[in-house]
A and B are shown apart, each in its own frame.
Chain A
Amino acid sequence: MKNFSGKTLFLDRSDINTDEIIPAKYLTEITKKAMGPHLLEDLKMDGFDPEKDLEGISVIITKENFGCGSSREHAPWALEVNDINLVIAPNFARIFRQNMFNCGMMAVEIEESKVNEIFSKFANKETSITTDFDAKTFSINAEDLSLKLDFIISGFDEALVKAGGWVEYADGNY
């Protein structure tokens, strides 16, 4: 199983699409590693600088419809090779969400009001999220503040995370 805990990046925008996560011009690459330096390079957001802000990040929390746009799995790979295996949002584009679990990574949906609460309390602080996969909880921690939160993933997604992805699961089960 992959690592789902660590320093957290807040992306306060909805509809962040796959072109912003990894620009189409890198689709000519055949390996995952080549995506690494280009994660979120085209994301237009006030005050966001991918070179500085991605340093040491393991978790992303963001707003609605993250990963919309193209079906490219390069988007989760760009995250994966940067050791970001967990994205939290109120909801995701279908293909992106499925791609994450297919790679043994997690795209976890949390109620919008909760996401907003986390943004308002933690977004300006150095924050880290710790995942307890068996208990299905996140603990969100900043210097002076902490919050515990349950999350739900389907039995199938759980099996994919445990198997390390869909190729292994499918070849083993069908």
Chain B
Amino acid sequence: MGKTTAQKIFDTHRIDRPSEGIEVINLDAVFCHEITTPTAIVDLMERGKDRVFDPTKIKAVIDHVTPAKDSLTAMQGKVLREWAGRQNIKDFFDVGRNGVCHAIFPEKGFARPGYTIIMGDSHTCTHGAFGAFAAGVGTTDLEVGILKGICAFLSPETIRIKLTGKIPAGIYPKDIILHIIGSIGVNGATNHVIEFTGPVIDEMSMEGRMTVCNMAIEAGATCGICYPDMTTVDYLWPFISDDFSSKDEALNEYRKFVPDEDAVYAKDLDMDISELKPLVTYGYKPDLVKPAAELSGEKVDQVYIGSCTNGRIEDLREAAAVLKDKKIADSVRVVVSPATPDIYKQALKEGLVEIFMESGCCLTNPTCGACLGMSNGVLAEGEVCVSTTNRNFNGRMGKGGMVHLASPATAAASALTGTITTADQL
């Protein structure tokens, strides 16, 4: 019987089946940030187990609130920083060198085809874009990951979503993933891996694939996976060129993780995206999705462009293209957070930063801050935000605030009018 990508990865990492349907696998990487890891560190210390399984496989970053905004967040950074020093974790990204975890770790080449990765963060599914099995876990799983380099999962069952048709002009990976979540629902892939495949994915950049995989969790999925191909190899080449004599050789090796033709799927879905319109969410769940044009005219107080979903260079280009030589509406404020220092530098080089500033946007350092309502752009009660992030839960970006998830293009267009607007309505 053929195997899916996740099954193939599990086959090369399995160490135990403690019970029917449960597999314990070893891990190639454990990612850490300052919100969920300090609790794990403190708990391990209290248990007298302040050790790590392999400091070279642990990567850590301060990204959610950075620089620290108060004593509590300063303490979270301090606990993580001191632990990284004590445990000899070299890949620790402190203030100034830090960026949003799911943007900076791939950028450093830490996600590879066939890898198993966990992090105490639900959007860890982003790294599946590289053909890895990457899953968000809770603090206890993180503790065991740090201590033993292992994690337990349900035997992976997979839903395959084949995306066909031609991507219409003005439609972006964010619209595609919102469409998928709107179709299958917030619980549509619970306990499943999603494989995203088909010509639409084949043509997509790694940035776009990361946007799609990033929101797999919003349909309940454990991980979203794209198959490794030449796009993957090209992206990773600076980090793997010592390991392979050519890109073809690397691709050959990575093709091991492409599913067998007779792989068995829990569900097999085909979606043609040729007719897709720019989408937004309209409620407190990410599956409440509508064409943005249907909400057009609704007043917006803030626009946010950033996050692990849409804070990468392509996203900034997409937003800047809409904002170029124009001014944002007086009634609105726009916060732009490039997701990593390299993205920031690239945006400077390409003149995107100037476009944002000329149009009246506020640029912050790389951080998650606004995305989860902790800093750098928190909403007030009753305010409305069009945001390129991934969660519109009640209170997510600030108590009593309403979040409409959208693509960077739709977010930028809404900034110009101060109301929900698509780029083609301008």
We find that the number of chain B residues with CB closer than 8 angstroms to chain A is 57
Evaluate contact between B144 and A95: CB separation under 8 angstroms.
Answer: no
| A122 at interface by CB-CB < 8 Å | no
Which of B262-270, B358-366, B389-397 lies at the binding interface?
Answer: B389-397
Q: Does B108 contact A (CB under 8 A)?
A: no
> CB distance A95 to B22 under 8 Å?
no
Chain B residues contacting A24 (CB-CB under 8 Å) are: 372-374, 395-396
Q: Which of B15, B64, B120, B393 contacts A71 (CB 8 A)?
A: B120
Q: Is residue B278 contacting chain A, with contact meaning CB distance below 8 A?
A: no
Contact check, A170 vs B138: say whether CB atoms are below 8 A apart: no
* Contact pick for A95, options B38, B47, B138, B393, CB 8 Å: B138
Contact A65 B190 (CB under 8 A): yes
Cα separation A76 to B393 with both chains bound (whole Å): 19
- Residues of A near B395 (CB, < 8 A) are 19, 23-24, 42
**What residue in chain A is nearest B43 (Cβ atoms)?**
A167
Find chain B residues with CB under 8 A from A29 CB.
72
> Do B148 and A68 touch across chains, with their CB atoms under 8 A apart?
no
Q: Which residues from B are CB-within-8-Å of A91?
A: 187, 190
Given the interface contacts A95-B137, A102-B140, does A68 sit within 8 Å of B187 by beta carbon? yes
Inter-subunit contact B140/A165 (CB<8 Å) = yes
- Which residue from B20, B43, B139, B148 sits with its C-beta under 8 Å from A170? B148
Please give, as numbers and ranges, the residues of chain A lying within 8 Å of B64 by CB-CB distance: 27
Q: Cβ of A69 < 8 Å from any Cβ of B? A: yes
CB-nearest residue of chain B to A99? B138
Contacts of A174 in B (CB 8 A): 15-16, 24, 148, 150
Partner-contacting stretch, out of A1-9, A48-56, A151-159:
A151-159
Which of B73-81, B93-101, B327-335, B340-348 sits within the interface? B73-81
* Complex contact B150–A71 (CB within 8 A): no
Q: How far is the CA of A155 from the CA of B73 in the complex (A)?
A: 39
- Take A25-B374, A174-B150 as given contacts and tell me if A71 and B394 are in contact as well, using a CB distance cutoff of 8 Å: no
Residue of B38, B43, B140 with most partner-chain A CB within 10 A: B140
Interface string of B382-420 (1 = CB under 8 A from A): 000000000101111001000000000000000000000
Which residues from A are CB-within-8-Å of B22?
154, 156
Chain A residues within 8 Å of B16, by CB: 173-174
Residues in A with CB closer than 8 Å to B43 are 167
A98 to B20 CA separation, bound complex (whole angstroms): 15
CB distance from A44 to the nearest CB of B (A): 6
On whether the beta carbons of A71 and B186 are closer than 8 Å, the reply is no
User: Can you show 26 pairs from A to B with CB atoms below 8 A apart?
Assistant: A19-B394, A24-B396, A25-B399, A30-B38, A65-B186, A68-B187, A68-B220, A70-B122, A71-B36, A71-B120, A71-B138, A76-B138, A93-B190, A93-B220, A95-B137, A98-B138, A154-B21, A155-B18, A156-B152, A159-B19, A166-B140, A167-B144, A170-B148, A171-B147, A171-B148, A174-B148
Chain A residues within 8 Å of B, Cβ to Cβ: 15, 17, 19-20, 23-25, 27-32, 42, 44, 64-65, 68-73, 76, 91, 93-95, 98-99, 102-103, 154-157, 159, 165-167, 170-171, 173-174
